[in-house]
Amino acid sequence: MIVIIFLVEDDPEGGYVARAIGESIFTQADTIAELKTLAQDAVQCHYPDQQERPKPIRLHSVHDEVIASNSHAAAHNEDL
């Protein structure tokens, strides 16, 4: 069984983007529910032959959060 995995990330302009690992498949949507449907459609278009189509489709959500590395140190230095 072939499995296809999409990396799902927040779109900086709003919504979500999904890129298939190892395939030239990309889609984007405003909601996760819409993204699921569009990912299915994209896979069906990329693999028109149902026998060759990957099953299942996995959506791996990636949430990138940036935090300051020195916030604790700065607060500590202010106490000195």
| 77 pLDDT more than 80 | no
Segment 31-40, tens digit of pLDDT: 999 999 999 9
| 74 pLDDT more than 70 | no
Residue-range definition of the domain harbouring residue 27:
4-79
We report the CATH number of the domain holding residue 65 as 3.30.160
Q: How many domains in the chain?
A: 1
Q: How far apart are CA 75 and CA 80, in angstroms?
A: 9
Strand pairing category for 26-29 and 4-10: unpaired
Rounded to the nearest integer, the mean pLDDT of the chain is 89
Q: How far apart are CA 39 and CA 71, in angstroms?
A: 39
Beta bridge partners of 29: 16
Q: How far apart are CA 44 and CA 67, in angstroms?
A: 39
